[in-house]
Amino acid sequence: MKIEIKNGRVIDPASGFDQPASVFIAASKIVGVGETAPRGFSAEAVLDATGCVVCPGLIDLSARLREPGFEYKATLESEMAAAAAGGITRLVCPPDTDPPLDEPGLVEMLKYRARQPGFAQVHPVGALTVGLAGQRLTEMAELAEAGCVAFGQANISIVDTQVLMRAMQYAATFDFPVWLQAQDAHLTKGGVAHDGAVAARLGLPGIPVAAETVALSTILQLARATGARLHVRRVSSAAALEMIRAARAGGLPVTCDVTINHLHLCDEDIGYFDPMARLDPPLRSAADRDALAAGLADGSIDVLVSDHTPVDDDAKQLPFDQAEAGATGLELLLPLTLKWAEAQGIGLVKALAKITSEPARILGLTKGCGSLVPGAVADLCIFDPHAEFTVTRERLKSQGKNTPFLGRTLRGEVRYTLTAGHLAYSTDGLLR
């Protein structure tokens, strides 16, 4: 279908384009951006984007879909509908499904199942080790052939550093990216909150910042020794961010991301044992939160992620130290990006780059993805940057209804999402 999106403010962070224009779509591709239609183009449908921003579809580098294995928490259908409602057209899921993504057949099945709803495209991260057990390496070449875009351990550490080194050597041999969360298994053990004044006051077992920095030191050293392409997931502390800055200054091409929760919240948001604030890694201090927000602004942190982890009520509505870590986030990625940009005094072009062109670059999808240039896949998000809404359980389309932002009013509402030129979401409901 040929579609014209008109009257919108078109922003393409990849090219720096930012001006009123129309976007012309044909055969699932963008065929023109400007005031006049390409020669011979005749629109079969028109979307009016008056008052809205038209940008590339959002790309989320960390979103759990809970299939296979955890369908009682969420399903592919429910979470990909939530992604479309959040303007997300591509997402990366970690390998900690049940069973873990350590065999090509599992990856192929996940990609096949994810294509059926048609809301977004899923890019799986394959397991570095069989069963995520940290002992035997997976057949990464076969997993990559099945569709894995990187290899990691989700939030499960490899305790044996010899195994970790061999895994990074193997990955480097084939130039496969390695995505790791820096956390020392021993220093994390038993902890449920940031090891600081709040945890001490509440009597909660703490997880020190050293749990992140000790592991990060090892990971960076091994990346330097092996030449593996390293992406550090879910940086949570100012100290870890400083280590990444130093590594980059020393020539190590490491990238990293931060979650929407750690960008806006700190351990004080635990309040009186609020299980919604039980997250992994834990919410750190206010100083850490502020350092992460500044690091995202100055480019030290490449990407902002939702870290979407739907949790069922039975597992969440428990005493803080017993509640399951995680929160829903797909539908909050855009408004919380805008909230950060406003607080930092950052323009929309630079802010949207953190959730469009930058994740596309890390995924190696710079050609035809995360951009609005002619020839690119027609993945688009159309949102009203001024529209306010309150986060409620009823509003969230994700099966997971738990987030620390419940009850908060945010700004920036998605009106339309197009995936490969097809209308995946509109404020009138889901259209396929």
Active site residues: 307
Q: What are phi and psi of 37, to 5 degrees?
A: -75, 150
Under 8 Å between Cβ of 152 and 128: yes
Nearest to 294 by CA among 220, 235, 231, 361: 235
- Tokens of residue 418, six digits: 């197009």
**Amino acid residing at 362:** I
- On the CB side of 241, CA atoms within 13 Å amount to 26
Cα–Cα distance, 332 to 83 (Å, whole number): 10
- On the CB side of 84, CA atoms within 13 Å amount to 27
SS3 of the chain: the string is: CCEEEEEEEEEECCCCEEEEEEEEEECCEEEEEECCCCCCCCCCEEEECCCCEEEECEEECCECCCCCCCCCCCCHHHHHHHHHHCCEEEEEECCCCCCCCCCHHHHHHHHHHHHCCCCCEEEEEEECEHHHCCCCECCHHHHHHHCCCEEECCCCCCCCHHHHHHHHHHHHHCCCEEEEECCCHHHHCCCCEECCHHHHHHCCCEECCHHHHHHHHHHHHHHHHHCCEEEEECCCCHHHHHHHHHHHHCCCCCEEEEEHHHHHCCHHHHCCCCHHHCCCCCCCCHHHHHHHHHHHHCCCCCEEECCECCCCHHHHCCCCCCCCCCCCCHHHHHHHHHHHHHHHCCCHHHHHHCCCHHHHHHHCCCCCCCCCCCCCECCEEEEEEEEEEECCCCCCCCCCCCCCCCCCEEEEEEEEEEECCEEEEECCECCC
For 384, residues 6+ apart whose C-beta sits below 8 A from its C-beta are: 51, 52, 53, 412, 413, 415
Determine the 3-state secondary structure of 257 from DSSP: strand
